[in-house]
Structure 1
C-alpha cells in the first residue's frame, strides 16, 4: 500500500477502457458475499477476520496490506490468499465487497477506490475525517447503487431495540436528556491513534460512538451547543473531550470521550417519568449478557437480555443488504445519512470546542 499519511485525495474517476465495475443492472448476488480485507489492523486480526471466517453469510477471500508479508501472516490462519497490494485486491473479480481497516485518514481514498471498482464497502469507523469527505463517498455509492456502511458494530446489538421500545411505549415519559460516554485507558505511545496526520485523536476514535448513539436514539438534526477538548501542547491532538448536543425537540445530550480514563462504555436516556441506563453499550463481548436498568421514582427494574454477537449481526446485515440489491433501498439511505451526520457533528465540535492544554501529562 502507498504511504498512509493523510492526503486530500479526490475519489478516482473512471477512464475510457477501464473496467467499470459493478453497476445497478448487474446480476444480483445470491450466495455469501465475498470479502477482501484491506488493512492489517489489530481489530481486523483479532475480531473481523475470525468473524468473517465463522459467518455463513460472508466468504473471506483475500487480505492486502502495506506489507505483503504481514498480509500473508493475517491470511494464513484462514487459508485465504494475500494480495501483493491494495490495488490488486480491489481489482479482483472474485470479490464483491471490501472491508477497510486502514488508518482513519486513508478511509476516504480507499473507500472511493473500492466503490469505483464496483465493490460494496464496509469501512471501519469513522467513514472519513470530515463531513465533506463523507458526503463525497456517499454520492459515489449512491451513483453506483452500492452498499456503503461504517463498522459501527454496536448499532446491530438487539439491546438497543429494547431501549427504543421503552421510549416508543412512553415508559420514560417525555424525553428530557441523553448522556453517553466512551473512554479507554491511555494507549501505547507508538499507537497510530496518537498521530494527527493519520486521523488520530480521541474525537475520531472513541468520540464518534456517543455521537452515533445520540443520533440513533434522538434522530437527525442534532446541533452542537458547545464542547471542550483536552489537547497535547506539542501538536494539539485531542486526548479527551466533552460535548453538549441538542435535538430539534429540545432534548439535551451530554457526551464524554477520551484516551485518559478507566474504561467506560454506557449511555442513559432520562425522561419525565423514568430513566433507562445501558452499560457496556458499545463493545460488549459476544458472550456478555446485557442488563438494561429502568429507574422510576419508587421502582427499579433490571432487564437481563440474551447475549448477542454484534459483529456477526453487523456482517450478516451487510450481506443481506448486498443480496437485497445494493445501496438503492431506503434503509441504505439511512445508513449513509447517519455517516454524514456523525461527521457533521465532529466538524461542529472541532469548530466550537475550547482547547484545554494538558500540561505535564504527555
Structure 2
C-alpha cells in the first residue's frame, strides 16, 4: 500500500553510475514508500523526466529533507563518502562492495552505530522471492541434508574506461562479484565458519577471476567461480543427499522474467515458476520500511559484518597467479 507523501522516505543519490540509472532510479519510481529529492552527479542532467534538486556532494549530504542516500560511486570512494553521509545523519544504501576490506566495513558500521542510522550493502538480488522459495525447499527437507553449493557468476570484460578495470579504484572481479556467491552461501548453508582454498587470476595487478572451494564447519562443500572475460553465467546449485536445486539467472534476474527453480530428486525433475518482479524495487521498499518503522539495524549490520569478514577469508585463501592471455 502506497504511503502518503509526508510518510515517504526522501532519497538522495550520490553518483549516477550505470546501475543507478538503469536499475535503481527506475525501481525508485515504482516505490510507494520513497521519493527522489536530490541527485549529486555529473550525469544528473541526463535523467530526463525526473523532478529533483541537482546538488554537489556536500550539498546533498547537508540537504535537510534527504533522509536516505543511495551511493554508487567507484569502489575506492565508498568508505569516504559513506562515512560522510552517516556523519550527516543519513541512512545509506551503498553498492557492493561496501568496503574493500573487512576493516573498512567495520569502520563504517561503527560510525552507523554511533549515529543510530542504517547502513545497508545493496544485496538486491536476495530480495527476489525465488531465493526465499529455495530456502523454503531446503528447510522443508526437500533435498535432504545439504552436501554442497556451487555458485557461478561471470561475464565479458566491462567496456574500456570502466572503473572496474582499474585496481587503483577498487576494480577487479573479486570486489565486483564475490559478494554474490558468498551471500548465497550464508543464505543457504548451515556452517558457521569456512576454510577457503583456490586460485585468483590477475592481469597486471587486476584480478580477473577467482575459483575455489571452501569447507564449512557443517561439512558442506562450497564451490565458487567468479570472472571477467568469459561467456555470461549466473547460477547456483544446491546439492543434498536426496536431490538438488538449481536457479539460473540467479544474480541478474530481469524484472520481467518469470524465473524457474529446478528441483531434481533421483530421476524426477520438477520446475517451479516464480512470478516476475523487480528485486531492486523490493530492496528499496524493504530498506524504506525498516527506516520508517524502526527495524533492527543491529541485526542487519551484523549480517553485513559477517559477509565482509567472509570476503576477506575468501581472498586470503586464494593463491594469486598471473593469468595467461
Give the TM-score normalised by structure 1.
0.85
Residues of 2 paired with 1:246 and 1:141: CA distance? 32
Match of residue 200 from structure 1: 171
Contact 2:191 2:220 in 1 (8 A): no
Give CA-to-partner distance per residue, 1:97-123, whole Å, 9 cap, x none. 100000111111111111111100011
1:61 to 30, 33, 37: 37
Match of residue 285 from structure 1: 254
Match of residue 26 from structure 2: 50
Contact 1:293 1:302 in 2 (8 A): yes
- For residues 84-103 of structure 1, the aligned pairs below 5 Å read 85-103=56-74
Match of residue 301 from structure 1: 270
Query: C-alpha displacement at 1:304, in angstroms?
Result: 1.3
SS at match of 1:231: strand
Query: C-alpha displacement at 1:341, in angstroms?
Result: 2.0
Query: C-alpha displacement at 1:30, in angstroms?
Result: 6.8
Match of residue 145 from structure 1: 116
Match of residue 340 from structure 1: 305
Query: Which blocks of at least 5 consecutive residues in structure 1 are unaligned?
Result: 1-28
Shift of the 161–81 alpha-carbon distance from structure 1 to 2, 3 Å rule, reads same
Contact 1:231 1:237 in 2 (8 A): yes
Query: C-alpha displacement at 1:220, in angstroms?
Result: 6.5
Aligned pair 1:41/2:17, yes or no? yes
Matched residues, number:
321
Aligned pair 1:323/2:286, yes or no? no
Residues of 1 paired with 2:160 and 2:174: CA distance? 18
Match of residue 94 from structure 2: 123
Match of residue 148 from structure 2: 177
Contact 2:154 2:227 in 1 (8 A): yes
Of stretches 135-144 and 109-118 in structure 1, the one that deviates more from structure 2 is 135-144
Contact 2:9 2:67 in 1 (8 A): yes
2:192 to 221, 226, 251: 221
- For residues 217-296 of structure 1, the aligned pairs below 5 Å read 217-219=188-190, 221-232=192-203, 234=204, 236-296=205-265
Query: Which blocks of at least 5 consecutive residues in structure 2 are unaligned?
Result: none
Q: Stretches of 4+ moved more than 3 A in 1?
A: none
Match of residue 24 from structure 1: none
Residues of 1 paired with 2:105 and 2:6: CA distance? 29
Give the TM-score normalised by structure 2.
0.95
SS at match of 2:7: coil
Contact 2:195 2:216 in 1 (8 A): no
SS at match of 1:246: strand
Give CA-to-partner distance per residue, 1:117-149, whole Å, 9 cap, x none. 110001111111100111111122122221111
Residues of 2 paired with 1:228 and 1:91: CA distance? 44
